[in-house]
Amino acid sequence: MSRNVAKFTAFLFCFLVPMVAFAAPAGAETSGSERSIYGFAMAIAVGLAALGGGMGQGRAVAAALEGICRNPNSAGKVLVPMLLGLAFIESLVIFALIIAFTIGGYIAPTIGG
Which residue range is the domain that position 59 belongs to? Answer: 32-110
Write the pLDDT tens digit of every residue in 24-33: 555 555 556 6
Write the pLDDT tens digit of every residue in 3-13: 878 777 877 77
In a domain, residue 71? The reply is yes
In a domain, residue 92? The reply is yes
How far apart are the C-alpha atoms of 63 and 72, rounded to whole Å?
13
* Distances, alpha carbon 97 to alpha carbons 12, 22, 26, 30, 34, in Å: 22, 21, 27, 23, 21
Which helix or strand (DSSP H or E) is residue 16 part of?
A: none
In a domain, residue 81? The reply is yes
In a domain, residue 22? The reply is no
Dihedrals phi, psi of 26, to nearest 5 degrees: -70, 135
What is the structure's pLDDT at 5? 81
How far apart are the C-alpha atoms of 75 and 79, rounded to whole Å?
6
Q: How many domains does the chain have?
A: 1
CATH number, domain of 65, equals: 1.20.20.10
Supply the pTM of this predicted model.
0.61
Of 100, 16, 40, which is closest to residue 32 (Cα–Cα)? 40
Write the pLDDT tens digit of every residue in 29-87: 555 666 677 777 788 888 888 888 999 999 999 999 999 999 999 888 999 999 999 99
How far apart are the C-alpha atoms of 38 and 44, rounded to whole Å?
10
Q: How many CB atoms lie within 10 A of CB 112?
A: 5
In a domain, residue 50? The reply is yes
In a domain, residue 88? The reply is yes
